[in-house]
């Protein structure tokens, strides 16, 4: 396991799902962790030895506050994981509203932009920023006008952050998960997304939260010191292309030979 002893980390959306898996992995690797989440995770954080900060990442003051609190408790921040987000899938252009578009960008995009802004104050030289996007920010999918666009924006913000913070040795990278077995997916009765994605993912299954956390852990480690501005899909190959494509070859191909 990549050693994070002596490192301090702020993880947004760390109370559940992917964020929770990242928190648990970082603590196991020796990091001191502050969990920032709207959901009260204070009792759980106490149990595992993490700090908790109540934060709405769509509010710039909360973002600055969580970083300031981590600095107060542990000193300079080593790793910032911008994981918190909302997932309004199933909404296409026909039902898109200004409110939904605005709220999606406030939580998913503005949070990353302002976290990067305030990281300049609280992050140590040579630190890490790791953002969370999605495979739908890489490929076109229907009924995701707000969500997919927001994740594409996170990918580009990552590249901009990498350029601006490189002089201090701070790396900025983004992980793009596929569909993950989190409550947002599994708690939907007979969720049609599960068989649909499973059948089209080359590895033939959904991701486990721990697999996404492993990629984040690597990018937070010293072994990833020369990686910045990178987009890392952890999606079982789905962004590389569908594993099913029923195409019939033309009749003028005979025995593997093209005949004019």
Question: Which residues, 6 or more positions from 180, have their beta carbon under 8 angstroms from its beta carbon?
Answer: 17, 18, 206, 207, 208, 209, 212
Beta strands in 13-159 (DSSP E): 32-37, 51-54, 77-82, 123-132
Token pair 């104050």 is found at 121
With the CA atoms of 20, 22, 25 and 30 taken in that order, what torsion angle do they form, in degrees rounded to the nearest 10? -110
Spatial distance between the Cα atoms of 218 and 210, rounded to a whole number of angstroms: 12
At 8 the three-state DSSP class reads strand
Verify whether residue 52 is a known catalytic residue: no
Cβ neighbours of 166 (radius 10 Å): 13
| Two tokens, residue 135 | 């495979």
Q: How far apart are CA 171 and CA 224, in angstroms?
A: 9
Find the DSSP H helices in 106-177. 111-122, 145-165
Measure the CA–CA gap between 193 and 190, rounded to whole angstroms. Answer: 9
Nearest-angstrom CA–CA distance, 256 and 18: 46
- What is the CB neighbour count within 10 angstroms for residue 11? 29
Q: How many residues does the chain have?
A: 260
Among candidate residues 74, 122, 147, 226, the one labeled active-site is: 147
Annotated catalytic residues are 147
């Amino acid at each position: 396991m990549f050693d994070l002893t002596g490192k301090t980390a702020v993880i947004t959306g760390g109370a559940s799902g992917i964020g929770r898996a990242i928190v648990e992995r970082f603590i196991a690797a020796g990091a001191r962790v502050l969990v920032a989440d709207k959901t009260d995770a204070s009792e759980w954080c106490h149990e595992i030895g993490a700090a908790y900060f109540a934060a709405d990442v769509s509010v710039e003051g909360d973002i600055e506050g969580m970083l300031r609190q981590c600095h107060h408790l542990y000193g300079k921040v080593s790793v910032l994981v911008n994981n918190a987000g909302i997932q309004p899938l199933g909404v296409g252009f026909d039902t898109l509203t200004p409110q939904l578009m605005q709220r999606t960008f406030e939580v998913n995009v503005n949070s990353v932009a302002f976290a990067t802004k305030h990281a300049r104050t609280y992050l140590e030289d040579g630190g890490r920023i790791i953002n969370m996007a999605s495979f739908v920010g890489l490929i076109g999918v229907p009924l995701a006008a707000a969500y997919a666009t927001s994740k594409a924006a996170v990918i580009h913000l990552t590249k901009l952050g990498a350029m601006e913070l490189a002089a201090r040795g701070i790396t900025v990278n983004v992980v793009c998960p596929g569909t993950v077995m989190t409550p947002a997916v599994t708690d939907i009765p007979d969720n049609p997304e599960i068989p649909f994605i499973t059948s089209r993912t080359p590895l033939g299954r959904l991701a486990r939260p721990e697999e996404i956390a492993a990629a984040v852990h690597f990018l937070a480690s010293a072994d990833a010191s020369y990686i910045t501005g990178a987009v890392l899909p952890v999606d079982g190959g789905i962004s590389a292309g569908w594993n099913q494509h029923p195409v019939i070859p033309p009749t003028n191909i005979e025995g593997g030979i093209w005949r004019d």
